[in-house]
Amino acid sequence: MPITDVAIRRAEVRKKPYKMFDGGGLFIQINPHGGKWWRFKYSFAGKEKLLSLGTYPDISLKDARDRRDQERKKLANRIDPAVNRAAAKAAWAGEQANSFEVVAREWISHRAVSWSASNTTKTTRRLEVDVFPWLGNRPIADITPPELLSVIRRTESRGARDTAHRVLQTCGQIFRYAVATGRAPRDPSFDLRGALSPVKGSHFAAVTEPKAIGPLLRALYDYQGNIETRCALRLAPLVFVRPGELRKAEWSEIDWETANWNIPAERMKMKEPHLVPLSRQVIDILKELHPLTGRGTYLFPSPRTKKRPMSDNAVLSAMRRMGIGKEEMSGHGFRAMARTVLDEVLHVRADYIEHQLAHAVRDPNGRAYNRTAHLPERRQMMQMWADYLDGLRTETSSEKHKNSY
């Protein structure tokens, strides 16, 4: 006789488990602690088997009967419900292993080897905020171009157009990684070219006109704040390294005998060690700074603790206090200044400049130059650059600096 919902609710709890049968192989087992489990009993290939259908009351009597009927249909088609369920679980596990988020984090772990810590953090955070909440659990092979576009549109709709383009670019790299590792048939981001609103190209603000460089340098030299920041401001245009490379500079990296600054690979964007020849002007600034911070690790320690370098806003904030606007000069702008003037005014060979900027420079055979390549020429270039800047600052620059390389 079929059981009723009332009978299930009123079922007494006994010392041992017992069963209440409904028919067609369906029964509910009442356990000593009060739990009520639905079971489906069936035979397949001459063997009796049990299949769990969930617990009561989460699974109602009607739901349990519907599930029983579904399993009986499989039996009618000579499908073993238990084997079918195991295959479904395995497929689901495979989908989760190949979900967008899993593949994306794997891609990040591979790329992080050659990335800076800040780039890894920014890329991961961008995906966590703008992509994972909507696509993270989706099998990467099943994501379609319209589905991807709808997610990117969320970022675009809040006015973050540049971020939207960056997110789309990152997703494309992840999809191509999935294709390369056999987990996706194609890259759907390829079909979204031109789908987003265009972003006006932007560059780091920089002063590149010689007539404007002189006043800028005089402002930097007249800075009245602490010595560490004043020295950083004076060094920035002379060595034109990236802002993070300058503020994290360590005294152990300065070779006084050879007048070189050896920056280790882990601090460089391209994860390759970099060598900066030091002009006489740079050495003079370092000698001024050394009595103050030379006993510690960093050239420019944080004012709060000597165990950390100065903040990434220290130099920028100083420039802003001097009235140098963000549309006029940025921390990266000293690199653009050097590249433009060394090339267009001083006519230095482009590969010398690019190598000193720590860009990817290769020889005619496609091999990357090592950090000491063209060192004599680069040392001469760095001294000429320092002399040229001194001339602009003191308004004594002349044609004698315009030597061709």
pLDDT digits (tens, 9 = 90+) for 300-312: 999 888 889 998 7
Asked if 362 and 253 sit in the same domain, the reply is yes
| Per-residue tokens: 160 | 């973050």
Could you say which of 138, 183, 247, 335 is catalytic? 335
On whether the CB atoms of residues 107 and 173 are closer than 8 A, the answer is yes
The residue from 55, 78, 94 where one domain ends is 94
Domain contains 202: no
Q: From CA 22, how far away is CA 64, in angstroms rounded?
A: 10
Q: Is 335 a catalytic residue?
A: yes
H-only helix segments in 224-326: 227-239, 243-247, 280-293, 314-321
Tell me: pLDDT of 200 over 80: no
Could you say which of 359, 362, 400, 402 is catalytic? 359
Domain contains 201: no
Asked if 305 and 236 sit in the same domain, the reply is yes
Q: From CA 318, how far away is CA 316, in angstroms rounded?
A: 5
* pLDDT, mean of residues 215-224: 88
Domain contains 200: no
Q: Is 267 a catalytic residue?
A: no
Asked if 132 and 37 sit in the same domain, the reply is no
Segments forming the whole domain that contains residue 145 = 100-192
Structural domains of the chain, count: 3
Convert 139-191 into a string of H (helix), E (strand) and C (coil): EHHHCCHHHHHHHHHHHHHCCCHHHHHHHHHHHHHHHHHHHHCCCCCCCHHHH
* pLDDT, mean of residues 54-61: 93
Tell me: pLDDT of 78 over 80: yes
Asked if 353 and 223 sit in the same domain, the reply is yes
Asked if 250 and 322 sit in the same domain, the reply is yes
Kindly give the interhelix angle for 333-344 and 227-239, rounded to the nearest 10 degrees. Answer: 40
The residue from 94, 123, 145 where one domain ends is 94
Asked if 375 and 261 sit in the same domain, the reply is yes
Q: Is 369 a catalytic residue?
A: yes
Give the per-residue pLDDT at 400. Answer: 46
Q: Is 203 a catalytic residue?
A: no
Tell me: pLDDT of 198 over 90: no
Could you say which of 74, 85, 269, 349 is catalytic? 269
The CATH number linked to 331 is 1.10.443.10
Domain contains 46: yes
Could you say which of 67, 230, 242, 393 is catalytic? 242
Tell me: pLDDT of 106 over 60: yes
Asked if 170 and 225 sit in the same domain, the reply is no
| Per-residue tokens: 208 | 């590149």
Q: Is 347 a catalytic residue?
A: no
On whether the CB atoms of residues 83 and 75 are closer than 8 A, the answer is no
Q: From CA 28, how far away is CA 30, in angstroms rounded?
A: 7
The residue from 162, 192, 222 where one domain ends is 192
Q: What is the pLDDT of residues 127-183, one digit of tens each?
A: 998 999 999 989 999 999 999 999 999 888 877 788 888 899 999 999 999 999 998
Could you say which of 18, 111, 369, 374 is catalytic? 369
* pLDDT, mean of residues 301-330: 82
Asked if 301 and 217 sit in the same domain, the reply is yes
Q: Is 269 a catalytic residue?
A: yes
The amino acid present at 292, given as its one-letter code, is: L
